[in-house]
Amino acid sequence: KNEVEQSPQNLTAQEGEFITINCSYSVGISALHWLQQHPGGGIVSLFMLSSGKKKHGRLIATINIQEKHSSLHITASHPRDSAVYICAVRKGYGQNFVFGPGTRLSVLP
Amino acid sequence: GAVVSQHPSWVICKSGTSVKIECRSLDFQATTMFWYRQFPKQSLMLMATSNEGSKATYEQGVEKDKFLINHASLTLSTLTVTSAHPEDSSFYICSGQSGGLETQYFGPGTRLLVL
């Protein structure tokens, strides 16, 4: 079993829909990151979380440390949000990322 | 956020040749750089971690003599794929991290095709 799981694997939405992507992990972590990989391959770091909730524009990320679960929400989705969203955790300070398998999101106009 | 560049973005080479990929941190000092490989529709796989001025630490299963990594300065790391084979065709991504900060800044990636 992978240490970091994501659901769904693939998601297709209509423009304007509210989107939720889930990440669950089975190890202790020092931080959890949400990454966005564009169709061309470039990766952008969206959030780093160790507790609570963060918001940036239309994106909201939450984490529940006790339940070992994080969610990424996109409000008022847009076709330009189409990308692969990757959850990655660090098991300890200075340790390498452990990546989830990614969620492929397509937002249709 | 901080910017990391990679060069080249695309490379096609013949089997048996060597290919060098550069990774530069443009506006910060990357004390640690990471090299990843990604096959189509798969997640990132860490190949090696390099700290400036030190030998790289390779992940299990990654041949250090085939994938030569140099991190000679705080802003530049290079990955050389030696004697490339078609199975080395992949998307190679580097990232940089400054000091003890948690965030990694990713380069745009280099797509390698070995014929």
Convert chain A into a string of H (helix), E (strand) and C (coil): CCCEEEECCEEEEECCCCEEEEEEECCCCCEEEEEEECCCCCEEEEEEECCEEEEECCEEEEEECCCCEEEEEECCCCHHHCEEEEEEEECCCCCCEEECCCEEEEEEC
Confidence of residue B112 (pLDDT cuts 50, 70, 90): very high
Fill in the DSSP letter of residue B67.
E
| B93 vs A: CB within 8 A | yes
* Banded model confidence at residue B1, pLDDT cuts 50, 70, 90: low
Q: pLDDT per residue over B86-110, tens digit each?
A: 999 999 999 998 876 678 899 999 9
Q: Does B89 touch chain A (CB under 8 A)?
A: no
Residue B66 DSSP SS3: coil
The residue ranges of chain A whose pLDDT is under 70 are 1, 94
For residue B2, pLDDT over 90 is answered with no
pLDDT value at position B8?
A: 96
If you compute the radius of gyration of chain A from its CA atoms, what whole number of angstroms results?
A: 13
A-side interface with B, Cβ within 8 Å? 30-31, 33, 35, 40-45, 48, 86, 90, 93-94, 96-97, 99-102
- At A77 the pLDDT is 97
The whole-number pLDDT of residue B88 equals 96
Dist. CA A11–CA A82, nearest whole Å: 10
- The rounded distance, in Å, linking the Cα atoms of A23 and A31 is 13
- CB contact under 8 Å between A94 and B38, yes or no, is no
Chain A residues within 8 A of B46 when measuring between CB atoms: 96-97
Q: Quick check: B73 and B52 in contact, CB under 8 A?
A: yes
Which tens digits make up the pLDDT trace of B30-89? 889 999 999 988 889 999 999 888 889 999 899 999 999 999 899 999 999 999 999 999
CA distance B46 to B59: 7
